[in-house]
Structure 1
Amino acid sequence: MEQYEPQSLSAPQLAAIRRSMTEGRMAMSRRALLRSAGAGALAVGGLGALSGCGIPPATRTAETSKADDHSDEEKWLNFSNWTEYIDVSDDNKHRPSLEEFKRRTGVRVKYTEDINDNVEFFGKIKPQLAAGQDTGRDLICVTDWLAGRMIRLGWMQKLDQTNVPNAYANLAEGFRSPDWDPVRAHSYAWTGIPAVIAYNEKATDGRKVTSVTQLLEDPSLKGRVGMLTEMRDTVGLTLLDMGKRPEDFRADDYDAAIARLQKGVDNKQIRRFTGNDYVDDLSKGDIAACVAWAGDLVQLQADNPAIKFTIPDAGFMMATDNLLIPNKARHKRNAERFIDYVYEPKVAAKIAAFINYVCPVDGVRDELAKIDKELAANPLILPDAEFTKKSHNFRLLSAEEETSFEQKFAKLIGA
């Protein structure tokens, strides 16, 4: 078999990639649609697609969901992912990690960037999953709340942990026990997505912005504050600022957080709620401070040193995108081999250097430093202990709560 030596990206290549993310196709692709179970999608009918799904979880069991595994005779893996969410070569013609996987294993990856938002993608695969049929996909990558929903419905396969020894050993501690898959029986994290506070120090005249209280109450920021249209991030950070834990808040806590945000809307403290289109406004200073996604900030800071971020003392929100194998997948073992492969530190470093979100793989720091020392030292990509202990997750909602909470948030943001 042909030997393949992975090539590290140079600093100029990385800079070019970062610029493409903020100025080119990346600017309105992966992050623009990130975790789009937000108010807009759900308020106009997405909730109906997710609320009951028409089939109770008990109709899918480990036995009824088994499929013949054709991995030995079919050297294929069908992988659905978000756009621009894996490393590519500088000329955009190759995906080095996928090519290395094929050279090493003989398994060719049919890589499809057909996930534009969680609700839309769920709509594509729901009919087959509900009917107990093959979706045509061996591996998918979806955000934690949807992963939890599909696991609860019995639509995702349990992993054979003997086929993923690297993943089992190298999964970072903070990703090991999500409430929706407590022992990672069905999933492994692809990347972490922190929501923190960002500000443009030129727009704030050098003042730091360190809390949601400051965002909502500092008169010097009036009309120049941005909040995210992602409910779990905006409300989660507000709950933390109120001394509540997003992991176990009550319905009246949620209502209090919404009321607090509504006051910020009514008194025009909040300029607007955005997807990742806050990026341009923050860079220009039209938005002085906002709730932001970490991957954006890594990229923005490469071009604009005035962009700063802070981790509130109260903590920050962390979500994950996750790898899962749907029921009836034809190539389960090939999918497990790929999951194990991307948990090798050298491979994980190459992917992290491109996508710039939190890497869930322990032992990756030295490998990432070979590509870019600044990235390896950035806590938004490789969190240190101090950063990690401030991380919080939004608890899994029941179908009824999801409907109610998203409707209230949609009304708040005018969706």
Structure 2
Amino acid sequence: MEQYEPETLSAPQLAAIRRSMTSGRGALSRRSLLHAAGGGALALGGAAALSACGIPPATRAGGTGKSDDYSDKEKKLNFSNWTEYIDVSDDNKRRPSLEEFERRTGITVKYTEDINDNVEFFGKIKPQLAAGQDTGRDLICVTDWLAGRMIRLGWVQKLDQSNVPHAYANLAEGFRSPDWDPVRAHSYAWTGIPAVVAYNEKATEGRKVTSVTQLLEDPRLAGRVGLLTEMRDTIGLTLLDMDKEPEDFQDDDFDAAIARIQKAVDRKQIRRFTGNDYVDDLDKGDIAACIAWAGDLVQLQADNPAIKFALPDAGFMMSTDNLLIPNKARHKKNAERFIDYVYEPKVAAQIAAYINYVCPVDGVREELAKIDKDLAADPLILPDEKFTEKAHTFRLLSSKEETAYEEKFAKLIGA
């Protein structure tokens, strides 16, 4: 197995860590139970949760995405994103990358941090999308499962690739062909987020935990194991441990993974299923080992060197957050210009240095090294070949599968 256990973190990393532990993307509810009810390898929601929010089944609605584009007349861009998910100045008063975009293009950006949870956000914009109306947003950032669902519903505009030459050229290979948008006709990745195996070395008395088999079957971990309420992460990693591909599995494989975890639950091997609230328990050692998001672990390691994580030999799960232009957006070309802008390596490095998630932009390493050499060498921000080759994604589900799988998983976790 590959293990990444950095001994020290740079000052910029520590600053970002302390910031995101208390607020922002890493501390919010995107990894909550609602989020987990359905997502794509770090996704949210699910058919049951979506139905509860009044979100319709995956049928086309809202007419076509065609609308008048006022970009040439109105130098404006309305962008909805997660909190603390773009670079901010040291005094917390400015967003340098946004300011540079405005200076360069003359386009004024209304940047709104109003995405706290995919399901909640979709509930906000669903009525307008379903009615074929402008949501008031030109650009949004949502997790892969929801991006795929919106594309399937016909609620996202197709991108003009001639307006995004940097994005087209610089999108890293591992992000190019998600099954929900195979040629990135409607979306570009904002970040990637790995789900791996983690453990507290003090709580395990020095033993390494590097596989789902250990999590589910090692009696020395009984009652001190955490699994995620994110179906695609927990089931995906279990499938990998069973020599099944999350990209290509059948109903029987899913049921076998559920049954295997259920046995561990029945034996009281599992302490609990969590969103990212596993962080405190892992830090204290109440949870000795768990499935975790790598970004949280980098944060934890800043203050607790006993926190370790490993990429299982079988592989790990990766999901993405993605930029999309909703139907009827008033400033489509301006949104495309911004997508293209953030795929310039210098800009991408500036953003990655602040948010510390996997950067999907090729050619960014040299620029990131100018900001901080440690960040440029961190595989959690710029994955190396060994890291990348172990990454897997959860396959696209039909509406029927989504409903059935979510019901089974909800029963498993007691939701």
* Structure-1-length-normalised TM-score: 0.92
Deviation at 1:91, TM superposition (A): 2.0
Rounded to whole Å, the distance in 1 between the matches of 2:363 and 2:141 is 23
- 2:3 match: none
Equivalent residue letter for 2:21 = T
Q: Which secondary structure does the structure 2 equivalent of 1:28 belong to? A: coil
| C-alpha distance 180-404 of structure 1, shift in aligned 2 (>3 A) | same
| C-alpha distance 46-359 of structure 1, shift in aligned 2 (>3 A) | same
- 2:389 match: 389
- 1:47 match: 51
- 2:4 match: none
| C-alpha distance 12-378 of structure 1, shift in aligned 2 (>3 A) | closer
- 1:168 match: 168
Rounded to whole Å, the distance in 2 between the matches of 1:343 and 1:30 is 27
Rounded to whole Å, the distance in 1 between the matches of 2:101 and 2:134 is 24
Deviation at 1:14, TM superposition (A): 3.8
- 1:28 match: 27
> Which aligned pairs between 1:262-301 and structure 2 lie closer than 5 A?
262-301=262-301
> Which aligned pairs between 1:234-245 and structure 2 lie closer than 5 A?
234-245=234-245
> Which aligned pairs between 1:165-204 and structure 2 lie closer than 5 A?
165-204=165-204
Deviation at 1:22, TM superposition (A): 2.2
Deviation at 1:336, TM superposition (A): 0.4
Deviation at 1:262, TM superposition (A): 0.9
Rounded to whole Å, the distance in 1 between the matches of 2:261 and 2:86 is 35
Q: Which secondary structure does the structure 1 equivalent of 2:35 belong to? A: coil
Equivalent residue letter for 2:59 = P
- 2:18 match: 19
Deviation at 1:52, TM superposition (A): 4.2
Contact 1:299 1:356 in 2 (8 A): no
- 1:57 match: 60
Contact 2:352 2:381 in 1 (8 A): yes
The runs of 5 or more residues in structure 2 that have no matched partner are: 1-8, 39-43
Deviates more, 1:346-355 or 1:155-164: 346-355
> Which aligned pairs between 1:204-219 and structure 2 lie closer than 5 A?
204-219=204-219
1:146-190 CA deviation, whole Å, 9 max, x = no partner? 111111111111101011000000000000001111000000000
Rounded to whole Å, the distance in 2 between the matches of 1:354 and 1:125 is 28
Q: 1:225 and 2:225 equivalent? A: yes
Contact 2:12 2:353 in 1 (8 A): no
- 1:359 match: 359
Deviation at 1:65, TM superposition (A): 2.2
Q: 1:251 and 2:254 equivalent? A: no
Deviation at 1:211, TM superposition (A): 0.5
Deviation at 1:47, TM superposition (A): 3.4
Q: Which secondary structure does the structure 2 equivalent of 1:323 belong to? A: strand
- 1:157 match: 157
Rounded to whole Å, the distance in 2 between the matches of 1:289 and 1:264 is 14
| C-alpha distance 29-374 of structure 1, shift in aligned 2 (>3 A) | same
Equivalent residue letter for 1:91 = D
| C-alpha distance 119-25 of structure 1, shift in aligned 2 (>3 A) | closer
Rounded to whole Å, the distance in 2 between the matches of 1:261 and 1:223 is 14
| C-alpha distance 117-285 of structure 1, shift in aligned 2 (>3 A) | same
| C-alpha distance 410-26 of structure 1, shift in aligned 2 (>3 A) | same
Deviation at 1:16, TM superposition (A): 2.4
Deviation at 1:367, TM superposition (A): 1.3
Equivalent residue letter for 1:17 = A
Q: 1:77 and 2:81 equivalent? A: no
The runs of 5 or more residues in structure 1 that have no matched partner are: 1-9
| C-alpha distance 43-281 of structure 1, shift in aligned 2 (>3 A) | farther
Equivalent residue letter for 1:290 = C
Give the root-mean-square deviation of aligned CA atoms: 2.1
Equivalent residue letter for 1:182 = P
Contact 1:227 1:274 in 2 (8 A): yes
* Fraction of identical pairs, as percent: 78
| C-alpha distance 33-72 of structure 1, shift in aligned 2 (>3 A) | farther
Rounded to whole Å, the distance in 1 between the matches of 2:276 and 2:61 is 38
Equivalent residue letter for 1:157 = Q
Contact 2:195 2:317 in 1 (8 A): yes
| C-alpha distance 50-385 of structure 1, shift in aligned 2 (>3 A) | farther
Equivalent residue letter for 2:227 = M
Contact 1:295 1:355 in 2 (8 A): no
Deviates more, 1:37-46 or 1:71-80: 37-46
| C-alpha distance 200-45 of structure 1, shift in aligned 2 (>3 A) | closer
1:219-267 CA deviation, whole Å, 9 max, x = no partner? 1111111111100000000000001111111111111101111111111
Rounded to whole Å, the distance in 2 between the matches of 1:35 and 1:343 is 31
Contact 1:156 1:325 in 2 (8 A): yes
Contact 1:167 1:188 in 2 (8 A): yes
Contact 1:30 1:85 in 2 (8 A): no
1:375-404 CA deviation, whole Å, 9 max, x = no partner? 211111111111111111101111111111
- 1:137 match: 137
Rounded to whole Å, the distance in 1 between the matches of 2:385 and 2:34 is 26
Contact 1:241 1:314 in 2 (8 A): yes
| C-alpha distance 335-30 of structure 1, shift in aligned 2 (>3 A) | farther
Deviation at 1:370, TM superposition (A): 1.8
Rounded to whole Å, the distance in 2 between the matches of 1:51 and 1:23 is 31
